[in-house]
Every structure is written in C-alpha cells, then in structure tokens.
Structure 1
Amino acid sequence: MHFIGYLIYGVVIASYFFAPAVTSLINMSVDLATEIAVACIVIAFYPPLYFLYLHIFGKKDKVSYERLCSVSQTSGNTVVSLGLIGTFVGLTDMIGKIAGAIGGEGGSIDEQIALIMVAIGESLNAMSFAFLTSVMGVAGSVVIFAATIYFKMFFDKTSKDDAENISDEAMEARIAAIEEDNQKIRRFMNRVINANIDRKELASIVISNTLQVKALSEAAGKLATSIESQCESNQDVTTGLKELKETVAKMEQNQEAMMKFEAGSYKTLAQMSEMTSQMTESEKARSEKTNKVIEAIAQGLTTLKS
C-alpha cells in the first residue's frame, strides 16, 4: 500500500502537464510569487524523497518511522505557513497601493482617475499573489499528508512481526535478565528458609513483651492518680491564697480606718491645745487650785491605804 504515496505524487506531476487549470495555477504562482512557490514545491517533495531513501535501504525500524512522521509533519506545517506569509504580504501590498492612489495629488480629474485605475490593477495583482500563495500552501500540505498516510503502511506491516524478528543478541539479553530475576527470587527464599526462629523463644519474647506492657500500664495509672492528687493540692493552695488575699485586704481597710481615727484625734488635741492657750489667767489659777486639791486627795488616799 505504500506505493499509493508514490502514485499521489505521480498524479500531481502528471496533472501539471495534462491539466490546464493546474498548469495555469502553478505558472501564475511562479510568476507572481517565485520564491514562495519554489519553496513550497521543494518542501512538498522532500518527504517522498526521504521515504525513497528508507525504502531503498530497507530501514523499517521504529526510529525511521518516527523520523518520517516528523519530517512529514514539519513539511506540511511549513508549506501552510509559507502560504499564509504570501497572503499577508499580498494584502499589505494591495492596501498600500490603493492608499497611495487615493491620497495622491494630481492635476485634472482624468489624471486622478487614470492613477486610480492603475492602482486598482496593481492591487488586483497583489491580491492574486496573496490568494495563489495560500492555494499553493494548502495544496502542498494536502499532498504531503495524503501521501504520508500510505508511506506509514510500509512500517505498519513490520511492526506486527517485531516479536518474530528478534535478533539473537536481544534474545540473549532477555534470557540473562530472566536468570537474574530467578537468582534474586532464590536468594530471598533462602533467607526465609535460613531464618529458623525457635517457637519457644518467640513465645517467651511475646510473654515478656506483654508483662512489660502491663507494668507500663500500671505505672501510667499511678502517674495519673498522683497527677490528680497534685491537682487537688494545687486547688487547696489556690483557695488558701484567695483567703489570704481577702484577710490582707481587710487589714488594709482597718489600717486605713485607724489612720483616719488618729488623724481626727490629732485634730481634737490641737483644738484642745488652742483652747487651753486661750484661757485667762484666772482660769489657770483655778485649774492650779483644783490640781492641788486633787493632789491632796491623792496623798490622803495613799496614807489611808498604808
């Protein structure tokens, strides 16, 4: 089926010589856009030439298949990109020529009309340049991708028989890998077999572990009870501190009251001293007499007691 790809390119070449429409299209494209048209033709014929090289030398491996796919994809995209570039160039040239004719300064009306007609003719040539390059790009891309579909069948047939066409070296490598895997499995089994642990020893280990776990649980319970008692004692301390703070506050209140009382007594004493200073001399004499009387009475009482 890969010969159909060659047939597609043969039909394209034959249509240039026997189909007038194709002949005029290619000739116009070469006349208006020589560089882009020649580049599209050269790039379009690169994939079949590369496949012919692979076909002659019988390269049917996976690497050659991937390279052919990459070459075909790149060639098709490049041809389309060249067509788009020609389209933009032609449209830009057309707009520039029309703008120059409309904005030009001429003498009479007939001269201006003649300039506009010339600009329109040149802009039509630029438009033809734009569309012909697009047609060349799209047509080249279609031919490349259509032929590549059949070129890939040259590799599809051999890909099914890859398992049958394994070389001796590859087979030896696979056998060596399998032997290495078997050796690893044997080593693992030997380790399992050689690991002869006595059941009694294993049981004693389990029992000792359970005893240790019980001891740890008992210690954890004692620790929990001690923590609870410590928390209760801490609560008692906090309540005692609160009561002590209350008593200290009460003492501070009593001290303030005593300070106020002392301050009031000091005031009364000062008032009394002022009053005594204001007494007359007669009152002082009377007070002295009364004091003497009081002293005599006191002496008489002492004598009576004796």
Structure 2
Amino acid sequence: MSSSKAEGRREDALAKQREQMREEFERQKKNLINETEKARPSTHRFVGQNDSMEDTLKNSTVGLVHLEEFQQKRKELEEAKAREAARTNELKDDIKKVKKRKKTAKATLSFAMDDEGEDGTPESETQDPEEDLERSKKRGKFRKNPNVDTSFLPDREREEAERKEREQLRQEWLRKQDELKNEDIEITYSYWDGSGHRKSVVCKKGDSISTFLDRCRQQFPELRGVSVDNLMYVKEDLIIPHHHTFYDFIVNKARGKSGPLFNFDVHDDVRLLADATREKDESHAGKVVERSWYQRNKHIFPASRWEVFDPEKSYGKYTIA
C-alpha cells in the first residue's frame, strides 16, 4: 500500500517536471521565432509610413463603387492632406520663430556691470551723450591691431584694386604699342634681278611685309604684273615671310646673319678704330626679289647664302659697342 502511494507521488512529480519542461520549450520556441522574424527583411520595411493619396484612395475604394462616392472620397482625402500640410507649415514657422527669438536674446545679452556705475545708477545717466559717443569710438578702434601684417590674408578690396591697376597698365601698354605701330618709317630697299636698283618707300611700323612688297611693286613697271605672292623680301641674308611686320623686328631687336633686322636704313660703320672683337654697326638694304629668279639662281652667290627666317632660331646677339 505504501509502495503504491510513493509510486503515485513520483508520477505526479514527473508529470509536473514534464509540464515545466514543455512550457520552457514553448517559451524558447517563441523567442526563437521572434528573433528570426526581426532578423528577416520585411516587405514593409522600406515602405513609407505615410502612404500617398492615390494608394489610400485605392485601399478605401475596393470593389464596385459609384462615381459620386469615389469623387467624395477623393475630395475628403485631398482636404485631409491639405490640413496636414498646413499643420506641418505652422509647426515649421513656430520652430523658426523660436530660433529667431533665441538669436535675438543672445544678441541683446549684456552685463549689468558695463551699464551701471559704481553707485548702482545706469552709466548712461551719469555721463553725457558726447562722452558716450567718444567712448563707443574708442571701443571700435580696439577691435583690430593695425600693426599686424595681414597681406597674406585674402582681401577682396585689395585684389579688386590690383586687378583694376593691372587692367589700366595693360590698356596703357596697348595704347603705346598702337602709337608705335602707327609711326612712319622709311625703308630703303633694292630690287634685285642680278644687279641692284635702290629705292625707298614709306610705310607704317605696323605694316606687314606683304603690304611693303605691294608698295614696292608699284614703283617698278616690270613688277606691276607680278603678284605679291611671287615676290620675296630678303634682309641680312634671311628671307622674311610675308606675315611678319616691321614692328615685330623693332620690338624684339632681331638680328640676321650679317646685321640687324630692326634697322631699315643703309649706313656703314665709319669708326676709325678697327677692332675685331667689336661688331660693325652696319645696315644693308633689303632685297626685293622675284621668286622665279630665286629658284633659278639659288645655287649662285649671293642667293646661295639666303635662308628662311625662323623666329625660334638664334642668330646671335647684335651688340654695338
């Protein structure tokens, strides 16, 4: 009998233990399911909280709906959205007003010690307005140290002044160069057909070689039927291209193989002292030649010495002592 009672108590204890184990298992199972659901990407995770008006209208008008009901529902949704937008704007305006009040409060913050005198009365009452004005000027002067070098700092006013000065200098330089180009220059040349026929013509310093050759062509009857392209200008054993101007040679102080290219008159070196270390101050007349004559005689002196002028090539410095 006693053994049966003990057996019954043991069965009850085992049943309770199994029930507790089952409840614990169910609890762990629920926790595991919840954690799995949290880790799993949801289809509604990237959907906005506020659906658009069209989506709300679709969800609220499922099935067959009369046209009047559909229009009424749409109108109600539009009014609700407008009210929500108005509340949002009012909230933004309130936030801006609060921020503005805070800034104003910070700007007007002051210390009572500066505004009151030693006896507790306001300083503006103890002093005259003229003294207040003078004192405010003194305070303004102490804000910056005028002895500090600030040239390395960016300054719009200084940069603008420098830019205007550079532009003014550039305009002045261009004006002077235009005046120089408009000056007259007498050019002595020799029409060369195997022998020299010397003449002179007046041109502007800014004229090109082609303009000069066109004027030379008018001075010789045998050249009037020849175009400018078939004429050549040879100066100091260099064939000068037609696009160059006399101004280019004058400004750059260019020199040729046998003399300067910036002197267009003819003169000899009349110094009595002969010194081989000093270059002679001589300028020779340039030659105007037909291109056909040059092609026939370019292997014969002096045409054999001629070559096309190259501004990149250095022909040496022409130094006159």
TM-score between the two structures when normalised by the length of structure 1: 0.22
Q: Which structure is larger by alpha-carbon Rg, 1 or 2?
A: 1
Larger strand share, 1 or 2: 2
TM-score between the two structures when normalised by the length of structure 2: 0.22
